[in-house]
Amino acid sequence: MRKTLIISTIILAYIALTFSTSPNTMACSEIHIQNNNANVSARNFDFMSGKGLISISPRGQLHKSAFSSNAHPSKQWTSKYASVSFWVSLPSNNSNPILAGVDGINEAGLKIGTYFLEASQYPAPTGSESIAITSYMQYLLDNYANVAEALADIQSSSYTLLPVSANDLKIKLHFYIHDQDGHSAIIDFLDGQPIIFTAPKTTILTNTPYSEALKALTTYSEFGGKEDIPGGPESLERFVRGAFYKKHLPAPATNKQAINSGFALVQLLSVPPKFEHGCTQWTIVTDIKNKRIFYRTLNDPTIQKIDLTTLDFSKAESKEFNQP
């Protein structure tokens, strides 16, 4: 009998009571580096807590979104592709931890990152099954091999996407997705519609709607404006700074250079400890071309590697990391 993996969603009463509900509480940044020699995603996960899990999900695994309502029962699916994914683990009033998908890649080379976006507004309920937005990353990794397939599903409106609420705080996300063939897309959900940017030229994503970030970028020096390049931790400041340093990045001659450049670039966007709304807890650099993950955490800066081509995907496993 296949075991059912319940993909927990964030019910953030603990955080709503303990931390500020400012959007900066869940700030993150990604820079994508791509040329003929490399296809690398480098991202920071900024949050109040760095406690999490690395999950190995095999093919043929039955998954279920744990968050639902009477009108929208939880969607179930069976994974077509094995994957490795990162989940933030948060305390709850129940004995089980609360998990939310942050980043992952599947064996076909589809890579997905999730980023908080306060402005997100998902399509109106369809009366169909539901997927919690915090489970959406895993759903896409389980079912699709490339960006085109994932986008076709996102635009299908065959299910209801549910944000997760806790008191006055809603967890709302947008996405940056890539595949092994070099295709990429940014997906914002605004005014009840998916807004999709394929092959974005400015390959940066933070916590501002992508079109707004591009507009703001034009007010800064080297991008058509006169403002100085900012150095702060806010979303637009990180976006502009990332675009500036990416513009001046020498084209990597090798895949190794691209990986090293990824770590260097997102270090420039990191938020140090002791900031009011949290700090950079994890840095994840994914070599999409070769399906390798490199990561480090605030508590352990040693770079660790996961190679999907050598993993045993015969059973589901999870590993805790960045424990206090």
CA–CA distances in Å: residue 3 to residues 62, 68, 106, 262: 7, 20, 20, 37
Q: Is the pLDDT of residue 320 over 50?
A: yes
Between 196-210, 227-241, 265-279, the lowest mean confidence (pLDDT) is in 265-279
Tokens of 123: 């399509």
Task: Indicate the pLDDT class of residue 276, thresholds 50, 70 and 90.
Answer: confident
Q: Quickly name the fold that domain 4-312 has.
A: Penicillin V Acylase; Chain A (3.60.60)
The pTM for the full model equals 0.90
In the chain, domain spans: 4-312
Supply the mean pLDDT for the chain: 88
- Structure confidence by residue, pLDDT tens digits, 140-183: 999 999 999 999 999 998 899 988 764 455 788 999 999 999 99
Q: What is the pLDDT of residue 14?
A: 31
Task: Indicate the pLDDT class of residue 321, thresholds 50, 70 and 90.
Answer: confident
Between 165-179, 183-197, 255-269, 308-322, the lowest mean confidence (pLDDT) is in 165-179
Radius of gyration of the chain (CA): 18
Q: Is the pLDDT of residue 118 over 80?
A: yes
Structural contact between residues 79 and 59, judged by C-beta atoms closer than 8 angstroms: yes
Q: Report the alpha-carbon distance of residue 226 to residue 224 in Å, rounded.
A: 7
Q: Report the alpha-carbon distance of residue 196 to residue 28 in Å, rounded.
A: 19
Between 17-31, 87-101, 245-259, the lowest mean confidence (pLDDT) is in 17-31
Q: What is the pLDDT of residue 125?
A: 85
Q: What is the pLDDT of residue 218?
A: 98
| Residue whose token pair is 């949290």 | 278
Q: Is the pLDDT of residue 185 over 60?
A: yes
| Residue whose token pair is 């093919």 | 59
Q: Is the pLDDT of residue 13 over 50?
A: no
317: which residues sit within 8 A by CB, 6+ positions away? Answer: 55, 56
Tokens of 202: 């400015």
